[in-house]
Amino acid sequence: MSIGQPSAFHTEDFPVVEPVRGVIFDLHATLVDQGHAGEWVDRALSKQPYALPEAERAALEFFLDRIWETARIQDPQSSRDLSFTDHRRVFHELLAAGPAVPAEFAEALYDVLLDTWHAYADTVPTLRALKAAGLRIGVLSNIGVPIRPVLDREGISEWIDAVVLSYEVGVVKPDPGIFDAALLALDLPAAHTLMVGDSGRDDTGGIALGIRTLILPRTKGPIHGLAAVTRMLSLPSSADSARR
Quick one: pLDDT at residue 98? Answer: 95
Dihedral-angle region of residue 225 (phi above 0 means left; psi in -120 to 50 means alpha; beta otherwise): left
Residue 2 lies in a domain: no
CATH code: domain of residue 194: 3.40.50.1000
Per-residue pLDDT tens over the stretch 59-92: 999 999 999 988 989 999 999 999 999 999 999 9
Residue 238 lies in a domain: yes
Q: DSSP letter at 16? A: P
Q: Please check whether residue 96 is in contact with residue 57, taking contact to mean a CB–CB distance below 8 angstroms.
A: no
Per-residue pLDDT tens over the stretch 20-49: 999 999 999 999 999 999 999 999 999 999
Peptide bond into 174 cis (omega under 30): yes
Considering the domain architecture, whether residues 182 and 239 belong to the same structural domain is answered as yes
Quick one: pLDDT at residue 229? Answer: 97
pLDDT at 238 over 90: no
Considering the domain architecture, whether residues 138 and 221 belong to the same structural domain is answered as yes
Q: Please check whether residue 155 is in contact with residue 119, taking contact to mean a CB–CB distance below 8 angstroms.
A: yes
Residue 3 lies in a domain: no
Considering the domain architecture, whether residues 96 and 140 belong to the same structural domain is answered as no
Reduce the DSSP state of residue 107 to 3 states and report it.
helix
Cα–Cα dist 123/32, whole Å: 8
Considering the domain architecture, whether residues 88 and 185 belong to the same structural domain is answered as no
Dihedral-angle region of residue 87 (phi above 0 means left; psi in -120 to 50 means alpha; beta otherwise): alpha
Considering the domain architecture, whether residues 127 and 184 belong to the same structural domain is answered as yes
Picking from 70-74, 105-109, 235-239, which range would have the lowest pLDDT averaged per residue?
235-239
Domain that includes residue 46, residue range: 37-115
Considering the domain architecture, whether residues 72 and 84 belong to the same structural domain is answered as yes
Provide the domain count of the chain. 2
1 against 180, higher pLDDT: 180
Confidence of residue 169 (pLDDT cuts 50, 70, 90): very high
Last residue of a domain, one of 115, 138, 154: 115
Q: Please check whether residue 142 is in contact with residue 90, taking contact to mean a CB–CB distance below 8 angstroms.
A: no
Whether the model clears a pTM of 0.85, i.e. scores above it, the answer is yes
Q: What is the DSSP secondary-structure string of 174-185?
A: TSHHHHHHHHHH
Dihedral-angle region of residue 234 (phi above 0 means left; psi in -120 to 50 means alpha; beta otherwise): left
Q: DSSP letter at 118? A: E
Reduce the DSSP state of residue 104 to 3 states and report it.
helix
Quick one: pLDDT at residue 144? Answer: 96
Considering the domain architecture, whether residues 109 and 23 belong to the same structural domain is answered as no
193: CB partners within 8 A, 6+ apart? 20, 21, 22, 23, 24, 183, 186, 206, 211, 212
Strand bridging mode 32-33 / 118-119: antiparallel
Nearest to 182, CA basis, from 199, 191, 201, 195: 195
Q: Please check whether residue 173 is in contact with residue 140, taking contact to mean a CB–CB distance below 8 angstroms.
A: yes
Considering the domain architecture, whether residues 151 and 178 belong to the same structural domain is answered as yes
- Amino acid 243 reads R
Q: DSSP letter at 144? A: S
Residue 208 lies in a domain: yes
Nearest to 220, CA basis, from 57, 27, 80, 33: 33
Per-residue pLDDT tens over the stretch 188-229: 999 999 999 999 999 999 999 999 999 999 888 899 999 999
Per-residue pLDDT tens over the stretch 19-28: 999 999 999 9
Per-residue pLDDT tens over the stretch 125-155: 999 999 999 999 999 999 999 999 999 999 9
